[in-house]
Structure 1
Amino acid sequence: MIDGVASGTMKGMSVIVGRDDQIGVVEALLDDACAGRGAALVVRGEAGIGKSTLLDHAVRAGRDRAMRLLTVTGVQAEVQIPYAGLDHLLRPLRPAPSDTGSPYRLAIEVLGILGESEAPVLLAIEDAHWLDAASWETLAFLCRRVEADRVALVIAVRDGEDIDRRLAAAGLPELRLEPLGPDDAETLLDRTVPRLTRALRARVLDEAAGNPLGIVELGAAAVRSGGSALLPSSLPLSTRVERTFGGLVADLPPLTRTVMLIAALDDGGDLDEILAAAALVTGAEVPPDAIQPAVTARLVLVDERYEVRFRHPLLRSAMRQQAAAGDRRRVHAALADVLAHDRQRRLWHRASAEPGPNESLAAELTEVAVRAAQRQAVATALAAVGRAAQLSGDRAERGRRQLWACDLAFEQGDALTLRRLIGEIDETALHPADRARLTWIRDGLAGGARTGPDRLLTYADHIDTMRREGQRDLAVKAMTEVCMGVYYASPPRAVRDRFVEVTLALDLDADDPARTVILSQVAPVEHGAVGLDRLRRFAPRMDLAPVQRVNLGFAAFAVGAFDLARLFALSSAADLRAQGRIGTLTQTLATAASAAAALGDTLAALPLAAECMALAEETRQPMWVLGGSLVAGLAEARRGDVAAARRRADDAERAIVAARRFPMLALVQRVRGVAALADGQAEDAFHQLSRVFDPADRAWFPDYRLLMFGDLAESAVRGGFLDELRSLVADLEPVAAQSRSPALLVGLAYARAALTGDYGAALADDLAEWPFDRARLRLTYGAWLRRSHRITDSRPPLRAAAAAFDAVGATPWADRARAELRATGETRRKPIDAMAALTPQEQQIARLAAEGLSNREIGERLFLSPRTVSTHLYRIYPKIHVSSRTELAHVITSSDVT
């Protein structure tokens, strides 16, 4: 049977013409999947180019390999229904997917289900450009996670701007189908329509231009109607083929045409459902045989489950496009009545049946969105509020719903949708408070906030407008979002004062986490001490929402409470992972990694930074990719991988200068300074780090001085810049007294001890949460004792320093401590760091396995399939010379306490 694509019939067998290379690619993909090397492939091209035939071949080849087959065809009628496509795809395996998670979490759940199959699995997805956004995001994420799974995905899509954007974001391998060459085109036409006259044959080949479906269908039309079937040639080929299909439908009985239109507009394919809707449209019972003329004409198939399937997607689109608007609305209304038992599908058909603005229906959809958002079903919420905006009769209310949709897209990490939604908003229709909200969404959430002083003052004024307009909650939300931008912009005092003024005008209760989050970042010196006290009170609370803990982590980092920042970040990450909110998870991972790196814990920082960067790439958050890279650079510098750290610093500097975010150069300078310290170049380290403390330098960042003074003090002590250090200590003592920043206090204690030789007070401080700084202090103290010829006294602090540096992976500092010990006559062997042989992701998996988590639990946490986790462990064991989880736990525990 010819399926409207590049195939012909020879001796009863289906033969594909002109696609040998492409068939080889598909079959290699299936072989890899069967061998445990999961992979995905997007087959793309214009309408009728042969995608369906190649997909059919993949299905047959998968069946020949005893693969489990799961198929779905995207349907335009379902494009607004979250997870509709995934529901159809997985129906043979499980009930409809829950919408309580995100596409990312659901993708891993699906991979787990597929992994339970004894046979390898092929997912064949036709017309993926018509998949709903949630199904597409789930499958795209799944495609990027089939590493060691016996799963193959072959996805057929039609060319177009929308699919170009989807594919650019998805980053999946593509196989483009081009038109057939002249010889193959002639072969296909001869096999399918051998009786054409020479003139008509030449005309068909010319008009089809190598498009297989055009060759088959235009050739058949020429047989039926002669040359007139090929006019007008000015129309696109797909339109002419659609008209050919439309002509075939026109020959059907009227009742069959009605049933066909309902099938084309239905978001399901159940024959009984279609017939029930047809009865409502026609006002009389419709027998099952009403579909038979279409089956006989080979326009549709009815499978063993009584599901109606169209012969070709263009036929379905032809039915939709040729139907009058009133007929389409009547069909949707009938389907809504038939689907009274299925609230969600019924609601979408009601929305499609609505001829114009309907505020009542828009409000109902908004309520659906609210309930979905409350249970973290962001994809459903986004689809519902988007349609509610379209149905809004009030322009201002439409804008408000569009703004909420922007929020949801950002939370989901969907940058493409966010930018599209922003472009659809009519700013002139918004209330002043909503215009203020749009300003921050456009400049901040959509990427690349303009953070000059004037722009920041505009934000502050807009947020104050929200407050005065009675939108206090939105004003608090906006201020919470913008305060990090204020911090990293390092604006003049007047700008900070304005933000403090607006924040205080919000009249937030002292126990409201938002007050601490905002003031600790906007003014970490002036409000740092009070903020630190509140942060310590918030730390043990169990009732804080994940996003509140994310923001508290930001605030804790800004005031230099790295231990609290890591606590808040890691506790929120656990919940965000469970909810699959990877857009926000990316940001809290950056905080956790930054805090670990600042504390000198390279073993924790590097895996966290690696995951942050991977998810930031996944969710298209370039500034968080940059931030994660800088954190990784700092951790690499501390562990002695100086070349890698300097490469990251150079790359980051180029991006920061291009974006004119000059205060963030402080982060670059810290990486360079610590790399120089690790490399034994204390003088260079001092000059690199001093730039952050110099108001005349474009890397000047006064608040960041709180966070990195310990590194500068060490470079001054080792490089002999003691006079400069005394001046810096004098400048920062009042800052420390006002802010009570833990990081600054620790750094000042170290500097005072090194300058005076009085180490007693510094050593007496509780530095249990600051292992690197405590070890640095002991190293400097031990070296001072040795130079003072107190050899015996010098050994204990030097031993403790070496052990502590080894435990956090700060190898250059550990080597210095061992060198000092050797100078006292004591030799300390350098431990073998088994974990150093592992990649950051492997380290993460190894630690979780050592903690007793199962492969499934590890996969859920890291968004990997259980089989992929198992494969990673299989590679990890020989690298660190273990053969079991028990031995793995012992090696990791030993490494951590060395």
Structure 2
Amino acid sequence: MVEIIGRDELISALDALIGAAVDGQGAAVVLRGEAGIGKTVLLEHAVRAGRERGLRVLSVTGVQAEGEIPYAGLDQLLRPVRSVAAAVESPYRRAVEVLGLLGDSGEAVLLAVEDAHWLDAETWETLTFLGRRVGSDRIALVMAVRDGEDIDLRLAAAGLPELRLEPLPDADAGALLDRTAPGLVPPLRARVLDEAAGNPLGVVELGSAAARSGSSALLPSSLPLSTRVERTFAGLVAELPPLTRQLLLIAALNDGSNLDEIRAAGAVLTGAEVPTEAIQPAVTSRLVTVDEQYEVRFRHPLLRSALRQQAAPGDRRRVHEALAAVLADSPARRLWHRASAVPGRDEALARELTAVAADAMQRHTVAFALAAANRAVQLSEDPAARARRQIWAVHAAHEQGDPDTARRILAEIDDQDLRPADRVRVVFMRDHYFPGASSGPERLLSYAGMIRTMHEGGDHEAATQAMCDVALGVYYSNAPAHVRDQLVEATLALGLDEDDPRLTGILGQIAPVEHGAAAVERLRQLLLRTDIPPTWRADLTVAAWAVGAFDVAAALGLSSVADLRRQGRIGTLSVSLSAAAAAHASLGDTRSALPLAAESIALATEIGQRTWVLGGHLITAQAEALRGETDSARRRADAAEQALSAARRFPMLALVQRARGLAALAEGHAEDAFRQFMRVFDPADTMYFPNQQLHLLGHLAEAAVLGGLLEELRPVADAMEPVAERSQSPALRVGYGYARAVLTGDYEKALADDLTAWPFDRARLQLTYGSALRRAYKITESRPLLREAATTFDTLGATPWADRARAELRATGETRRRPMDALDALTPQEQQIARLAADGLSNREIGERLFLSPRTVSTHLYRIYPKVNVRSRAELARILVSSGAA
């Protein structure tokens, strides 16, 4: 084995990575640097070291020609094992499947990726997602990438550790040159070292060229080093037989590497059979290698670039045509080569690609749909058709959870090519995908006009989708009545059938008071339907939360989450998780809310959904306050207030007040809590937000009764009575019932209502009534109420409220200990895993739900069991049930 000069620290780091994978501590690293800096040599060292330590090595080289084909790189990487299921079209789902696939063998595995910057986007997303989750798997991932602005953005989003390769020091560069081209005369040696500037490939190739041909081989230093090395390679290729050169060009332009496939394309080009031996001169010249599976590998990617650059455009097109001719059994690859062979634009092929994209979207293969749509855009002859395809591609990118691509495509649309209906649609989408500071409710009127224009222009589905997109923004706009009325009119003008769930979802968010009663009734009916797409159910979850039907929102949210996971619609999944978390938190169920919010934050962070990251933190703050973790809740609330105020999204500050008020209640500071909540009800306050009043009246009433502020509560409750009657908001009706009970003292009437789906509110009513009875010396009557309240609060994880109930019980002469909380010692992710394991799911099933490998799930359970003092799933289930956590 040849010694690698000047890279001792990097070699040690790679060896440590390999050793950790052997020991069951997976990790990922990115080797980064300019072309020729030595990434390939280090990657080859990692491969050798991995094999010596017994790792199974899977490798792939990114190919520029494959960049448009979803999962081309991943499928090639896994070919020695097996292909990943073609139906799985989400990078996140694929990453989990790969983790499970590699973990099944029990072997330690090294994934070695050369030229990762040329991987297709889906393979990149899959591998980087996998790289962030291999901590408990015997997997090492090493990716080599070339420097560049595009890769800077990719790596920033990937969040993987990097090892940067710098130019060799002078002494090391000199040692490498002396080993490669010994005996160069001092002036020529100095010239080579100066030209190479510490780049190892430059030292080797320019030194070799100088040894063969003297100083005439050194191209002008005004050229970039990569160009000079490419030309050195090109000179070597020029010495090969014509048929060998042709096979190398085919290999350079192919999106596969199989020698027989390359020979078959060569036969199409030459009209005669191409023998296997035709590639041998290139092997002998050390330009390529051919392994035992007859896979052709280029010695260096710059050779592939040199071959492409020196080939005439006509030759490149003929090669793509030949490859398309021999790939009849691979429709996707054949389609891409056909598209690459087209001289200029081709509207017919663009239409074909658009049809393929639409079909892929229907089959939930979103990644392929987006790639096909992008190529269709490039081939479009008709400017208006091209613009419509770009609009469609924006929607596909959004579905895939790729806001960066959506923004890029939007920026490329030429407004002059748009029909009037498309023009307003693009304006709307730019507002939606490039959100800046809130411009207030006035902008919403223009949205209403845009949506009408789309609808009148014949884009009925686009108009409906636009209204679905804008509905939550309307909810959080604090829009005056006349603005809401116009948006309601625009919604009704869409002509949606009354049975269309989208109508309920839109109106429930736009006008939760005016159309709340109909929305609540309809939502309960829709809950029973099984034919509603999960993306629509996600919108319905948000609508149900908006109108205060938290129990419906929780059920809809969890059902949509399951399907969105399976389909890999990560963008919508993070939204649905957030809405489900909000519903559970609003029901006081902190045990369910915190894991859901944590996962929503993680996924939204992964795909750059900053608004949903912020929302997840506010939901977490709400749940933490209910649990008594008030310091953390306030920190999150303070950070959220700063971000929301900077963006002038003042109505959302009501969610900040919700967290602060609950934190004050948890600490027993009732008057402070009342003042915090009252800001949401005060029209003169920046926190004023009528829509959230539907959710907060119960909390305000609790603060009032504890703080002796009932007279201040009375006018608020009176004002909310007609709102409760008109909206039929379940949350407001429950809150108003509690407020009336504390104002009149008639608790029995409030307890007679069906509060089965509202355990926190029922327990709060029992606690308040039981406390009142205890103070009236009705000890016997108070105890059952206080006992049941304490049990419910413990079950929900609302510890401060449970402690208050136990304190009241002690005042009656009855002692009740705080039960052991089986989940207190666990992180939110561990809580999710514990619950799913207790429900009987296997490690693989848990991993599929949470985008984790089975081995990672197993590792988590290994840590969970001693934390809760159990040894098995059965014991875990029993302890969760006994503590009320199940």
**Partners of 1:640 and 1:679 within 8 A in 2:** yes
Q: Tell me, in whole angstroms, the C-alpha distance in 2 between the residues paired with 1:569 and 1:441.
A: 25
Greater displacement, 795-804 / 489-498: 489-498
1:87 to 71, 75, 80: 75
Give, in angstroms, the shift of residue 446 of structure 1: 4.5
Q: Tell me, in whole angstroms, the C-alpha distance in 2 between the residues paired with 1:109 and 1:286.
A: 39
2:621 corresponds to: 633
Give, in angstroms, the shift of residue 439 of structure 1: 2.1
Q: Tell me, in whole angstroms, the C-alpha distance in 2 between the residues paired with 1:379 and 1:766.
A: 47
**Which letter maps to 1:76?**
Q
2:585 corresponds to: 597
- Residue pairs, 1:812-831, within 5 angstroms: 812-831=800-819
1:9 corresponds to: none
**Partners of 2:37 and 2:165 within 8 A in 1:** yes
Q: How many residues align?
A: 886
2:367 corresponds to: 379
**Which letter maps to 1:809?**
G
**Partners of 2:437 and 2:646 within 8 A in 1:** no
Matched, 1:295 2:283: yes
Matched, 1:664 2:668: no
TM-score, structure 1 normalization = 0.98
2:440 corresponds to: 452
**Which letter maps to 1:124?**
A
2:331 corresponds to: 343
- Residue pairs, 1:431-510, within 5 angstroms: 431-448=419-436, 450-510=438-498
1:10 corresponds to: none
2:119 to 131, 138, 154: 131
Deviation track 1:241-290 (CA, whole Å, cap 9, x = no partner) reads 11111111111122221111111001111112112212222333332222
SS of alignment partner, residue 40 of structure 1: strand
Give, in angstroms, the shift of residue 454 of structure 1: 2.4
Give, in angstroms, the shift of residue 525 of structure 1: 0.4
Matched, 1:771 2:759: yes
- Residue pairs, 1:193-208, within 5 angstroms: 193-208=181-196
**Partners of 2:591 and 2:885 within 8 A in 1:** no
2:606 corresponds to: 618
**Partners of 2:437 and 2:647 within 8 A in 1:** no
**Which letter maps to 2:743?**
L
SS of alignment partner, residue 43 of structure 1: strand
Give, in angstroms, the shift of residue 319 of structure 1: 0.5
2:698 corresponds to: 710
**Partners of 1:100 and 1:375 within 8 A in 2:** no
Q: Structure 1 residues 99, 242: closer, same or farther in 2, change over 3 A?
A: farther
Give, in angstroms, the shift of residue 96 of structure 1: 5.4
Q: Tell me, in whole angstroms, the C-alpha distance in 2 between the residues paired with 1:159 and 1:555.
A: 46
1:161 to 122, 137, 149: 149
1:728 corresponds to: 716
**Partners of 1:193 and 1:219 within 8 A in 2:** yes
Matched, 1:329 2:317: yes
1:240 corresponds to: 228
1:894 corresponds to: 882
Deviation track 1:353-394 (CA, whole Å, cap 9, x = no partner) reads 011111111111112111211121111111001101111111
- Residue pairs, 1:296-445, within 5 angstroms: 296-445=284-433
1:810 corresponds to: 798
Q: Tell me, in whole angstroms, the C-alpha distance in 2 between the residues paired with 1:331 and 1:650.
A: 61
SS of alignment partner, residue 30 of structure 2: strand
1:110 corresponds to: 98
SS of alignment partner, residue 835 of structure 1: coil
2:16 to 24, 28, 41: 28
**Which letter maps to 2:118?**
W
**Partners of 1:99 and 1:380 within 8 A in 2:** no
SS of alignment partner, residue 125 of structure 1: strand
SS of alignment partner, residue 325 of structure 2: helix
Matched, 1:566 2:554: yes
2:566 to 578, 584, 601: 578
Q: Tell me, in whole angstroms, the C-alpha distance in 2 between the residues paired with 1:201 and 1:494.
A: 81
**Which letter maps to 1:443?**
D
Greater displacement, 854-863 / 410-419: 410-419
Matched, 1:881 2:864: no
2:733 corresponds to: 745
**Partners of 2:356 and 2:369 within 8 A in 1:** yes
Give, in angstroms, the shift of residue 623 of structure 1: 0.8
2:265 corresponds to: 277
Q: Tell me, in whole angstroms, the C-alpha distance in 2 between the residues paired with 1:317 and 1:389.
A: 25
Q: Tell me, in whole angstroms, the C-alpha distance in 2 between the residues paired with 1:163 and 1:800.
A: 58
**Which letter maps to 2:652?**
M
1:856 corresponds to: 844
Stretches of 4+ aligned residues off by more than 3 angstroms: 445-451
Give, in angstroms, the shift of residue 99 of structure 1: 4.4
Q: Tell me, in whole angstroms, the C-alpha distance in 2 between the residues paired with 1:838 and 1:448.
A: 38
1:790 to 778, 782, 795: 778
SS of alignment partner, residue 792 of structure 1: helix
Q: Structure 2: where are the runs of 5+ without partners?
A: none
Greater displacement, 425-434 / 380-389: 425-434
1:5 corresponds to: none
SS of alignment partner, residue 344 of structure 2: coil
Deviation track 1:133-189 (CA, whole Å, cap 9, x = no partner) reads 111111111111112000000000111111111111111111110000011001100
Matched, 1:650 2:673: no
Deviation track 1:440-465 (CA, whole Å, cap 9, x = no partner) reads 32221345574522221121111110
Q: Tell me, in whole angstroms, the C-alpha distance in 2 between the residues paired with 1:369 and 1:828.
A: 63
SS of alignment partner, residue 324 of structure 2: helix
Q: Tell me, in whole angstroms, the C-alpha distance in 1 between the residues paired with 2:243 and 2:412.
A: 40
1:51 to 39, 42, 63: 39
Q: Structure 1 residues 97, 181: closer, same or farther in 2, change over 3 A?
A: farther
**Which letter maps to 1:39?**
A
SS of alignment partner, residue 883 of structure 2: helix
**Partners of 1:562 and 1:598 within 8 A in 2:** yes
**Partners of 1:418 and 1:446 within 8 A in 2:** no
Give, in angstroms, the shift of residue 231 of structure 1: 2.5
SS of alignment partner, residue 95 of structure 1: coil
Q: Tell me, in whole angstroms, the C-alpha distance in 1 between the residues paired with 2:885 and 2:270.
A: 78
Q: Structure 1 residues 355, 105: closer, same or farther in 2, change over 3 A?
A: same
Matched, 1:869 2:857: yes
2:670 to 666, 678, 682: 682
**Partners of 1:440 and 1:482 within 8 A in 2:** no
Q: Tell me, in whole angstroms, the C-alpha distance in 2 between the residues paired with 1:131 and 1:223.
A: 36
1:256 corresponds to: 244
Q: Tell me, in whole angstroms, the C-alpha distance in 1 between the residues paired with 2:587 and 2:435.
A: 29
Give, in angstroms, the shift of residue 87 of structure 1: 0.9
Greater displacement, 692-701 / 89-98: 89-98
Q: Structure 1: where are the runs of 5+ without partners?
A: 1-12
1:67 corresponds to: 55
SS of alignment partner, residue 732 of structure 1: helix
**Which letter maps to 2:490?**
V
Give, in angstroms, the shift of residue 237 of structure 1: 0.6
Q: Tell me, in whole angstroms, the C-alpha distance in 1 between the residues paired with 2:436 and 2:465.
A: 19
Deviation track 1:28-67 (CA, whole Å, cap 9, x = no partner) reads 1111111111110000100000000000000000011010
**Partners of 2:822 and 2:885 within 8 A in 1:** no
**Which letter maps to 1:602?**
T
Q: Structure 1 residues 897, 484: closer, same or farther in 2, change over 3 A?
A: closer
1:555 to 525, 543, 555: 543
SS of alignment partner, residue 301 of structure 1: strand
Q: Tell me, in whole angstroms, the C-alpha distance in 1 between the residues paired with 2:367 and 2:435.
A: 21
SS of alignment partner, residue 810 of structure 2: helix
